[in-house]
C-alpha cells in the first residue's frame, strides 16, 4: 500500500484527544475552524506551526500517513505544492 505523509500543527489539548483515541481519530473541528487542513510539504508545515505558536501551547506538528488512494479522493490545495 502506498502512503502519503501529511503534517498538521496541534496544541497540547488536541494532541491529548488524538492520543486518547489510540491515534486513530481526529477530534471534531472547532466552529471557527471547520476545515481539517493537513499539508504534504514539511517545510510549509513547520512554518504553519511557527505561525500558530501564539495559539498553541507548544510548537508541535503531527505526522500522518494516509493511504494514497484516500488522499487522492480529497481536493488538493495548490499552496502546499509550491515552494514556500
Q: pTM for the whole thing?
A: 0.65
Q: Spell out the per-residue pLDDT of the chain, length 84, in tens.
A: 899 898 888 877 888 888 999 988 888 777 776 677 788 888 888 888 777 655 555 667 888 888 888 888 876 654 444 444
Q: Which run of H or of E encompasses 4?
A: strand 3-10
Q: Using CA atoms, how far apart are residues 46 and 44, in angstroms rounded to an integer? A: 5
Q: Beta-carbon neighbour count of residue 11 at 10 Å?
A: 15
Q: Coil, helix or strand for 16?
A: helix
Residue 80 grid cell: 502546499
Helix (H, G, I), strand (E, B) or coil at 40: coil
> Hey, which residues does 8 pair with through a beta bridge?
62
The pLDDT score that the predictor gives to residue 21 is 93
pLDDT at residue number 49: 78
Amino acid at each position: 500500500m502506498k502512503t502519503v505523509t501529511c503534517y498538521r500543527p496541534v496544541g497540547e489539548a488536541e494532541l491529548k484527544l488524538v492520543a486518547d483515541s489510540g491515534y486513530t481519530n481526529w477530534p471534531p473541528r472547532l466552529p471557527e475552524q471547520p476545515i481539517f487542513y493537513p499539508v504534504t510539504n514539511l517545510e510549509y508545515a513547520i512554518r504553519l506551526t511557527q505561525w500558530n505558536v501564539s495559539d498553541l501551547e507548544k510548537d508541535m506538528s503531527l505526522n500522518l500517513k494516509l493511504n494514497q488512494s484516500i488522499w487522492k479522493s480529497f481536493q488538493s490545495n495548490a499552496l502546499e505544492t509550491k515552494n514556500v
